[in-house]
Chains A and B, each alone.
Chain A
């Protein structure tokens, strides 16, 4: 698969096969194309040549895109503070199973902030909310979790907690991370450099 930003080929000739239930850590230098790769899976990056299949399904129709986005939970890199206020509880509810997401938020220590707007949360608290939302997505039926630096804004204890939470979910996990402890918990580690992918362990 190839992804372009303007004339730049951000992802070049990537061919990756992930077995169901496998946990993959995606590492690599800044700007090497990791985020673009994840966004291409979700259709947020549009200029893609090649084919991405999830659960054997492509994305030719709107219905297939809708299935893809239900099947893949997403934790965005640097979650947007948003142009318009959104309550944390509304973010949790958007996962499709509000109760499980709220319960996960409680475990992550942000359960009592559900009635606060996201813009009033700190970076780490926002990241915890997105982790809790991802748990809700999995409870609602997502079989794949695409996590983009899910521990970058967390304190040391939080990084441990998040890595534990992510690797114990029964999903196929693709996590972009610079956190060695997180990578060590995964089954395989792939490294990206200048848009190309190679397995390192």
Chain B
């Protein structure tokens, strides 16, 4: 059977349609979250959020609430909680490491107290794009709308904040409020995406397009546009490849996004025009 025929046949299946739709929606919101992660220099956020989510699940199981909901709330609280540490340049990335250690320790303690198997709790964290439910699609859709909307609405403030916090503060940007908002958004998006797509795929959907875009764009607006563009192309191409050759979508998407990021880093840096002004305008006027 031809690869094209196989894609057509698999596309008849509802889970495959949902997965495709989910990936397309994810391509609009998550790469922008990745741009924030790169901009705030909080690459370890995924590991921190995995562990905080586990703590949320442990709390949920101990008190009998929906564990996944508890995980999302725990991540949102953790994101808001580390915001004050953003005051110094490297405060946040250190905070992510600390958060990770504290959260896993607290989670294991709670799981031991509640007598729940840690592996069972972990299993709640692992999703798969082929197991996406309509409710998950709604979450991805909300992210796909909310995240770009925030970026369009506040792009000047965000550009200043990600460039230099003190300059933003002196330009009248409400840095504290905006940092909290960004960190909560990152925390919830990453935690939600882990649940929806599996931990490995989160990197392909958020970080890798942003890393490639960081290299290709020259301003927040162009970097964001590149990130979304790369996200859409990688997600669509990777998903079709995995359907055509019957491969698991997660690793194929990560490899595709990784290849794009690698190529972006190998392209020689675009030569900026000379530092000097064009000769014609800097030459003294003949008059």
Give the contact-size bracket for chain A: 20 to 34
Query: Are A112 and B164 within 8 A (Cβ)?
Result: no
Query: Are A86 and B163 within 8 A (Cβ)?
Result: yes
- What distance in Å separates the Cβ of B180 from its nearest Cβ neighbour in chain A? 14
The docked-state distance in angstroms from the alpha carbon of A90 to that of B39 is 16
Residues of B near A82 (CB, < 8 A) are 163-164
Q: Does A83 contact B (CB under 8 A)?
A: yes
Q: Does B171 contact A (CB under 8 A)?
A: yes
- What distance in Å separates the Cβ of A110 from its nearest Cβ neighbour in chain B? 9
Query: Are B163 and A85 within 8 A (Cβ)?
Result: yes
B-contacting residues, A40-96, CB 8 Å: 42-44, 66, 69-70, 72, 74, 76, 80, 82-87, 90-91, 93-96
The docked-state distance in angstroms from the alpha carbon of A180 to that of B14 is 76
B-contacting residues, A76-135, CB 8 Å: 76, 80, 82-87, 90-91, 93-96, 109, 112, 116-118, 120-122, 125
Q: Does B268 contact A (CB under 8 A)?
A: no
Residues of B near A87 (CB, < 8 A) are 159, 218-219
The docked-state distance in angstroms from the alpha carbon of A94 to that of B218 is 18
Query: Are B171 and A84 within 8 A (Cβ)?
Result: no
The docked-state distance in angstroms from the alpha carbon of A93 to that of B220 is 15
Query: Are B167 and A83 within 8 A (Cβ)?
Result: no
Query: Are B170 and A122 within 8 A (Cβ)?
Result: no
Q: Does B160 contact A (CB under 8 A)?
A: yes
Give the contact-size bracket for chain B: 20 to 34
Residues of A near B170 (CB, < 8 A) are 42, 44, 69, 72, 74
Query: Are B220 and A70 within 8 A (Cβ)?
Result: no
- Most interface-central of B41, B218, B223, B277 (chain A CB within 10 A): B218
Query: Are A120 and B163 within 8 A (Cβ)?
Result: no
Query: Are B272 and A116 within 8 A (Cβ)?
Result: yes
- What distance in Å separates the Cβ of B209 from its nearest Cβ neighbour in chain A? 16
Query: Are B217 and A76 within 8 A (Cβ)?
Result: no
- Chain B 166-201: CB-based contact to A (< 8 A → 1; otherwise 0): 111111100000000000000000000000000000
Residues of A near B223 (CB, < 8 A) are 85
- What distance in Å separates the Cβ of A84 from its nearest Cβ neighbour in chain B? 4
- What distance in Å separates the Cβ of A33 from its nearest Cβ neighbour in chain B? 18
Residues of B near A109 (CB, < 8 A) are 277
Residues of B near A125 (CB, < 8 A) are 275
Q: Does B133 contact A (CB under 8 A)?
A: no
Residues of B near A76 (CB, < 8 A) are 166-167
Q: Does B281 contact A (CB under 8 A)?
A: yes
Query: Are B164 and A90 within 8 A (Cβ)?
Result: no
Closest 8 CB pairs of A and B: A86-B163, A82-B163, A84-B162, A94-B171, A84-B39, A87-B219, A120-B272, A80-B164
Besides the known contacts A83-B164, A85-B163, A85-B219, 14 further A-B residue pairs in the complex with CB atoms under 8 A apart: A44-B170, A76-B166, A80-B163, A82-B164, A84-B38, A85-B217, A86-B159, A86-B160, A86-B164, A86-B220, A90-B156, A112-B281, A116-B218, A116-B272
26 A–B contacts from the bound complex (CB under 8 Å): A66-B172, A70-B172, A72-B170, A76-B167, A80-B163, A80-B167, A82-B163, A83-B39, A83-B164, A84-B159, A85-B163, A85-B220, A86-B160, A86-B164, A87-B219, A90-B160, A90-B219, A94-B167, A94-B168, A95-B171, A96-B172, A112-B281, A116-B273, A120-B272, A121-B275, A125-B275
